[in-house]
Amino acid sequence: MNCYEAIDLMGDALENRVPSESRPGFDEHLGECPSCRTYLDQLRSTVRALAHLPRRRDTSALTSELLAAFRNRPR
Amino acid sequence: MSEIEAPFLARLKSGDEAAFAGLVADLGPGLFDFARTFTSSPALAEDIVQETWLGVIRGLGAFEGRASLKTWIFSILVRRARTIAARDARLRARAAARAAEVEWEPGQGRRGLWEETPVPWSVEDPEAIHQSHEALVVLQSALDGLPEMQRQVVLLRDVEGLSAGDVCNILALSETNVRVILHRGRAKLRQALDRYVRDGTSDRGACTEPMGRIAGRGIR
């Protein structure tokens, strides 16, 4: 497998969903290509960091208008 | 629908105000962040969220729970946002300015993904970059700067943690499209973190921004 094919599979790799027929070639490529290996590691760290982003704003306050709409909704 | 969600939905449908308040508190911040991807105006984003909740209230009686509650509510937001934000001219101007960027396509290798050979981040545990507050600030600002659709897909998939299938449904995109857009967005975010880590720790003095240097030490 070359870099082009490996890169196309990286999204699958992040979800541990690389098709089984491609798995050996993909693993072999990562083993011999530091660029792809580093890139994939860093993508994985990026995705993990995204899950840790703090919420910026808590405007989840329930407005009286919304609550009234909920109370008076047609059943 | 999950087993946990069915009783909750029943409470909502029966008019349980505490359940509704809990739902608003739970999803409100995420909905607001997502609404911001459709408009440059925070006030308009608030309108979109408000309209979304009114849509939820109106639609609750007919909602059968075939999708999860969260997916259903985010879908309502997309419909409201597209109507409301279509009037926001700045949005279109922004989209046009970005059309010129080189974007990654499957089969194109690293073109649009990385310019320089990726160098491992000089941190003890690259996985732990999320423990650096400054890195998260950098990440947030890079996320805010992504082209609209990439920002939407990354927000739903990686920040909200929705499944790829749910993201397709919410944005009415094909699986292939979502996959490509997600990779483009993630690649730009990786690049932003890469720049931050390397400038912050580089001795070439490439970065004069104090935050980069201080933060660089922080995650070593």
CB contact A42 to B (< 8 Å): yes
Number of separate domains in chain B: 2
- pLDDT score at B208: 36
Quote the mean pLDDT of chain A.
88
> pLDDT band for position A57 (50/70/90)?
low
Q: Residue B153: in which H helix or E strand, if any?
A: helix B148-154
Structure tokens at B105: 């396509």
- Interchain CB distance below 8 Å, B190 and A46: yes
- pLDDT score at B127: 65
Do B162 and B170 meet the contact criterion of CB atoms below 8 Å apart?
A: yes
Has residue B154 been placed in a domain? yes
- CA-only gyration radius of chain A, Å: 22
- pLDDT score at B97: 61
Cβ-based neighbour number of residue B89 at 10 Å: 9
Do A53 and B159 meet the contact criterion of CB atoms below 8 Å apart?
A: yes
Distances (CA, A) of B16 to B5, B21, B22, B49, B172: 14, 9, 10, 21, 31
- pLDDT score at B115: 79
- pLDDT score at B205: 36
Cβ-based neighbour number of residue B52 at 10 Å: 25
Has residue B110 been placed in a domain? no
Decide which of B36, B66, B88 is a domain's last residue.
B88
Kindly tell me the burial class for residue B205, based on how many C-beta atoms sit within 10 Å of its own C-beta (0-12, 13-18, 19 or more). Answer: exposed
Q: What is the DSSP string of A6-67?
A: HHHTHHHHHTT---TTTHHHHHHHHHH-HHHHHHHHHHHHHHHHHTTPPP--------HHHH
The alpha carbon of residue A27 is apart from the nearest alpha carbon of chain B, in Å, by 17
Q: Say yes or no: B69 and B145 in one domain.
A: no
The CATH number given to whatever domain includes residue B69 is 1.10.1740.10
Has residue B176 been placed in a domain? yes
Has residue B151 been placed in a domain? yes
Question: pLDDT tens track of chain B, all 220 residues?
Answer: 566 688 999 999 999 999 999 999 889 999 999 998 888 888 888 889 998 999 999 999 999 888 899 999 999 999 988 887 776 655 556 666 655 567 888 888 888 888 788 888 876 666 678 788 888 888 998 998 899 899 999 999 999 999 999 999 999 999 999 999 999 999 999 999 998 888 764 333 333 333 333 333 333 3
Q: Say yes or no: B76 and B142 in one domain.
A: no
- pLDDT score at B215: 38
Distance CA A26, CA B34 (A): 35
Name the amino acid, one letter, at B197: V
Of residues B37, B77, B36, B42, the one with CA closest to residue B59: B77
Distance CA B92, CA B168 (A): 23
CB contact A54 to B (< 8 Å): yes
B111: left (phi over 0), alpha (psi -120 to 50) or beta: beta
Mean pLDDT for A37-42 is 94
The CATH number given to whatever domain includes residue B208 is 1.10.10.10
Distance CA B59, CA B61 (A): 6
Nearest-by-Cβ selection for B118 from A38, A44, A66: A38
- pLDDT score at B93: 62
Mean pLDDT for A27-55 is 93
Do B143 and B136 meet the contact criterion of CB atoms below 8 Å apart?
A: no
Structural domain that includes position B68: 5-88
Distance CA A13, CA A23 (A): 9
- pLDDT score at B193: 92
Which residues of chain B lie closer than 8 angstroms to A56, CB-CB?
Answer: 29, 33, 140
Structure tokens at B165: 């299938």
Nearest-by-Cβ selection for A69 from B26, B54, B161: B54
Has residue B14 been placed in a domain? yes
Q: Say yes or no: B137 and B199 in one domain.
A: yes
Has residue B177 been placed in a domain? yes
